[in-house]
Every structure is written in structure tokens, then in C-alpha cells.
Amino acid sequence: MADDAMDAFEAFFRARVLSEIQHLVRLGFSPDCASEAVEQAMTTLCERWNKISYPVSWVRATARGHALTIVKQQLDVLPEDIEDRHPALRHYDDDPVIEHESKTRVTQLLAGLSLRRREVLSAWLDGVEDGEIAENLGISEGTVRSHRRYGLADIAEKLRLEGGLS
């Protein structure tokens, strides 16, 4: 890799590694699993740096795939049983709160949302543009905006109820 490409990758790595780990933790993965998955994704990204058009989306998708693989290996169960055993692997809207894995308020608030809304809001909180979120998740920009709007409304309602406000 040329020096300027290596410099660009290193700058990207320094700017993104912690937020990518945090993103996976917000999705329900343990900090250790998230760290390992992001490390694997970043290593591969370094090797392919000049071939990747959207590195944030690429790292997010790749790191999530690595994290799912790590969890599957840790659980050592059949694939059809996985979704019932780990909240980060659920793909339906009634995903349970993952408060036991949360240490920050943002993570606690996002944990009550569906997986898709957590994905959208987590990326949005990290400054990823709607178009890149849409491409990464395979949905339209309008759907991204809708998930963000309703996710924020759900969080606002939760905060209103917690505060005893009417």
C-alpha cells in the first residue's frame, strides 16, 4: 500500500475504531466480541483500502458479520436456534431490552428499539449519512428517515414515561 493510502487508512482507523465498537455494543454484542469483530474488519479493510468505496458502511457490515460468527461459535448451537439465544441476533421488532449489556444511557435507550431502528439510530448518531445507511442496510433513504423518526419518537415516549410527565 502506498504511503498516502496508508496514511488515509490510519486516519480512518483512528477516527472510527471506537465508534464502530460502540455501534456493535449498542446492537447487543459484548464489548469483547465487538472489539474482536471490529479488529478483524479493520484488518481486512486495510488490505482492501483502495477497493472500498464506502468504508464506514463496509466496516459496519463486515464487523457485524464477524460478531455474528463469533457469537455463533461461542454459543455452539444449531443456526436455527441462534436467534432465541442471543438478543443481538434477533431480526424481528419485539427485541428485548439489553440493559445487562448496557453501561451508557444511550445504549439503554436504544436497547428498547427494534434491531433495525437500533441500526439506523446507531449509525445516525455516529454521523453516517442517510444514503450510506440505506446502502449498508439495503433499504431506501426514506425508510432510513422513517426508522429514525419513529425510533426517536419511541425514545422520547420512554423518557416521558420515566420522568412521570404526561
- Summarize pLDDT for 92-147 with one digit per residue, the tens: 344 333 333 433 577 778 888 899 998 898 888 888 889 989 998 999 999 999 99
Render pLDDT for 28-67 as a digit per residue (tens, 0 to 9): 888 889 999 999 999 999 999 989 888 988 998 899 889 9
CB 123 within 8 A of CB 135: no
All structural domains of the chain: 3-162 (1.20.140)
Residue 78 has pLDDT above 90, yes or no: no
Helices (H), the chain: 3-26, 31-48, 55-75, 79-85, 105-111, 115-125, 130-137, 141-162
Render pLDDT for 6-18 as a digit per residue (tens, 0 to 9): 899 999 999 999 9
The C-alpha cell that represents 32 in the structure block: 469483547
